[in-house]
Amino acid sequence: MLRCCTVHCGVRDSASPRQKSFLLTSQWYPEVNLNFSMLFSSMQIVIQMDRATKRIEPWKIAVIVVSVIVGLALIIGLITFFLCHDQDRYYSASFLITNVKYNPQYERQTTELFRHLSQDIETMISAVFKGSFLSKRYIRSHVVSLSPDPGGVLASVVLVFKFASADSKAMSWGHVNSVLRRRLKTSSIFLNVDQSTLRLTGKCLRFVFLAWNLFLILC
């Protein structure tokens, strides 16, 4: 009777007791067999990964470490450069000079009258900013044009500053505008500037300034 039951369950009499136990367990508890298979596969993967790690030569590990360090250094350097380096910023200012009558020779930038009045205006602008907290930021100014106006001569000037790239453009413009309006009253000794006509914009194109420098060099 016991033999029939054993054959019915699929276990041979010739099998060892350990094999009989494993086969019976596999047939009656299939989930145990599944878990055992998954565990065995995981162990094989871990063993293969461990062997692959051991196969990496020391110089390859050194190259990987050095590459990571160099990459991090480059990223940090670029971030520091873009946040801390200075950049030129250009502003366009215009104002009316009331104590100078317009002369047709002001139309040409090569005339002596244009150069003399331009020099006086640039000297006045330099005095405005060199005596302020923007003295280290101010670079130079150039008179671009002198236009006729019923009240005198309308001057258009390009102002060049050097600000940190991380500084807000709106804040930089606010500093330049406030200093120009406050100190222009006391710095204009020979030239009378109508404060109500003063305009300052940060939309001056850089190529205008470069073209003007090239023109001065050629002349």
**For residue 143, pLDDT beyond 90:** yes
The CATH number of the structural domain formed by 87-218 is: 3.30.70.960
The tokens for 33 are: 């067999």
Average pLDDT over residues 115-144: 93
Domain boundaries, the chain: 2-55, 87-218
The per-residue pLDDT for 159 is: 95
| Per-chain mean pLDDT for the chain | 76
Q: For position 144, what pLDDT does the model report?
A: 93
Residues 155-174 have pLDDT tens digits of: 999 999 998 877 888 899 99
**Angle (deg, nearest 10), helices 112-130 and 169-187:** 110
* 73-87 average pLDDT score: 68
> Which three-class secondary structure state does DSSP give residue 144?
strand
Q: What is the 3-state composition of the chain as percent helix, strand, coil, each rounded to the nearest 5?
A: 60, 20, 20
Ramachandran region of residue 3, left (φ > 0), alpha (ψ -120 to 50) or beta?
alpha
Share of residues in the chain with pLDDT > 70 (%): 63
Looking at residue 44, its pLDDT comes to 64
- 215 touches 209 (CB < 8 A): no
**Confidence band (pLDDT; 50, 70, 90) for 1?**
very low
**Res 129: pLDDT:** 94
**How much is the pTM?**
0.57
Q: Is the pLDDT of residue 195 over 70?
A: yes
Rounded-to-integer distance, Cα 148 and Cα 163, Å? 34
Lowest model confidence (mean pLDDT) among 27-36, 51-60, 145-154:
27-36
Q: Which region among 44-53, 71-80, 116-125 has the lowest average model confidence (pLDDT)?
A: 44-53
Question: Which percentage of the chain shows pLDDT scores above 90?
Answer: 42
